[in-house]
Amino acid sequence: MPAASLLTRLRRKSGNQVKIDTLFSKRKGPSGSVSKKNEPPAVPSRQAPLKVFSFQIPPILLISDSSVCNCIAELVQRMFEDASLTRESQLMISNCPRVIVETQLTGLYHSDFTSVSRELEAEIRIGNVRRLYLHRSDSFSGESCLVLRSELNEIYQLYLNKYEDNKELQSLIKKLQEFLQTHGSTSYSTEELSFSLQERRILTTAGFLTLDGTNSYGISLPNLGVFTHILHSSRKDLIQFFKKKPFYECIEASLLQRNLSVTAKKKHETFFGWKFRLCDAIGAGLIDAFMTSCGRAYRLTRRGLEYK
C-alpha cells in the first residue's frame, strides 16, 4: 500500500515481526477526488425545483393607468427605487438619462404584449415616445431605448443651456430637435440627415448621434452609455445571484431581500432598483416568472445562462 495514502506507526516485536497499525486512511476515487469515510455526501438545500402553479403572474408594477406613456413614466420613476445608493454611485446616477429598454414593456405586460406593442407604435408615430439607438453588441443585440417626448425636450433644453457659449453646437442641437419632430426612426442614412459631414461629426462628439454602419447614424443622447453600463452591471449581478441558487431559481421575497443589501458589499458598483431590473430581465428573456405557493418566483433561462 502506498506510503502517501497511510499514516502508519511501526511497532517492532520479538522475532523482528512488524505490525502496521493504521490510524486512519483516505482513499482516492477514480476521479482523483478525496472521499472521507462515514461522511454523508453534500446535498443542495432544496432537492426539487419549485412547483409551478401558473405562468400567469400579476403585474410587477400595479399601475392604475396602463397606457404606454404612463408605464414608461412609472418605470423611470422606479429606476433607482430601493437600490441602496452609495456616495460613489451618486455622480453616475445623476448623469444617467431617464430612459427604459423597450423590452421592459414586455416584462411588464408579458401576458398581453401584442396590444401594448400596437399602442407603442402609435405613440411613436405621433411623437409622444422616441426610440433611441443602442450599439449592436452581444449584450444589447436588437434592443432599443424609449424616452418620453417631455423627458427628451427637457434633456435637449438642458444641453442648450449648457452650450450657451457654443453657438454652433447650440444651433445644431436645435436643428436636430426640429428634425426629430417629423422623423421617428432610430437611425438615418447620410442622405436622410440634413447635416453636413462636419455637422454630423460635431453632433456625434457631443453624443446626440452615433455611427450605425458606414453611411448611417443612430439617434442617441449624451451619457446614454452610463445607462447601458448600469443596465449591463445590473443584468450580470442578477444572473450571478441565480446561478448560486438551487435549480437557478428563487422566490421573489428572497430576491428582494438580497437586492436591498447587495450594494453594501459592492460599494463601487451601481445597480437599478429591483422592480426595474425584473421588468428588464423578463423582457430580455433572461429569466422566467411564475407563481408558486409562496408567491411570485423567477428562474434563469438558457439565454440568461449564456449572457456575458
Per-residue pLDDT of the chain (308 residues; tens, 9 = 90+): 544 443 344 344 444 444 444 333 444 444 444 444 454 444 345 678 888 887 777 778 878 777 899 999 999 999 998 766 677 778 888 889 999 999 898 888 765 667 788 889 999 988 899 999 876 555 565 678 999 999 999 999 999 999 999 999 999 999 999 999 888 888 899 999 889 999 999 999 999 998 887 788 989 999 998 999 999 999 999 999 999 999 999 998 888 776 554 544 555 678 898 889 999 999 899 999 999 988 899 999 999 999 88
Q: Looking at the structure, tell me whether residues 136 and 146 fall in a common domain.
A: yes
Q: Looking at the structure, tell me whether residues 184 and 85 fall in a common domain.
A: no
Task: Pick the last residue of a domain from 224, 258, 284.
Answer: 224
Q: Looking at the structure, tell me whether residues 213 and 115 fall in a common domain.
A: yes
Task: Pick the last residue of a domain from 196, 224, 252.
Answer: 224
Task: Pick the last residue of a domain from 209, 224, 239.
Answer: 224
Domain membership of residue 251 as a residue range:
46-65+81-97+225-308
Count of domains in the chain?
2
Sign of CA dihedral 276, 187, 118, 73: positive
In a domain, 40, yes or no: no
Q: List alpha helices for 244-296, DSSP H.
A: 252-265, 274-283
Distances (CA, A) of 44 to 19, 35, 58, 189, 262: 43, 18, 30, 55, 23
| Dist. CA 300–CA 308, nearest whole Å | 14
To the nearest 10°, the Cα dihedral for 266, 272, 273, 275?
Answer: -130
Distances (CA, A) of 106 to 111, 205, 266: 8, 33, 29
In a domain, 28, yes or no: no
| Dist. CA 286–CA 304, nearest whole Å | 4
In a domain, 239, yes or no: yes
In a domain, 180, yes or no: yes
Cell of 228: 447601458
In a domain, 21, yes or no: no
- Residues 87-97: b if buried by 16+ CB within 10 A, e if exposed: eebeebbeebb
Q: Looking at the structure, tell me whether residues 184 and 243 fall in a common domain.
A: no
| Dist. CA 183–CA 249, nearest whole Å | 43
What residue has cell string 490510524? 23
Amino acid letter, residue 63: I
Q: Looking at the structure, tell me whether residues 58 and 105 fall in a common domain.
A: no
Q: Please report the pLDDT score of residue 265 as a whole number.
A: 55
| Dist. CA 251–CA 75, nearest whole Å | 22
In a domain, 30, yes or no: no
In a domain, 54, yes or no: yes
Q: Looking at the structure, tell me whether residues 106 and 247 fall in a common domain.
A: no
Q: Looking at the structure, tell me whether residues 195 and 245 fall in a common domain.
A: no
Taking residue 104's Cβ as centre, other Cβ atoms within 10 Å add up to 26
Q: Looking at the structure, tell me whether residues 58 and 73 fall in a common domain.
A: no
Chain-centroid distance of CA 136 in Å reads: 16
Q: Looking at the structure, tell me whether residues 124 and 150 fall in a common domain.
A: yes
Q: Looking at the structure, tell me whether residues 166 and 263 fall in a common domain.
A: no
Q: Looking at the structure, tell me whether residues 177 and 193 fall in a common domain.
A: yes
Q: List alpha helices for 146-267, DSSP H.
A: 149-162, 167-180, 197-206, 224-243, 252-265
In a domain, 93, yes or no: yes
Cell of 93: 446616477
Cell of 8: 502508519
Q: Looking at the structure, tell me whether residues 299 and 270 fall in a common domain.
A: yes
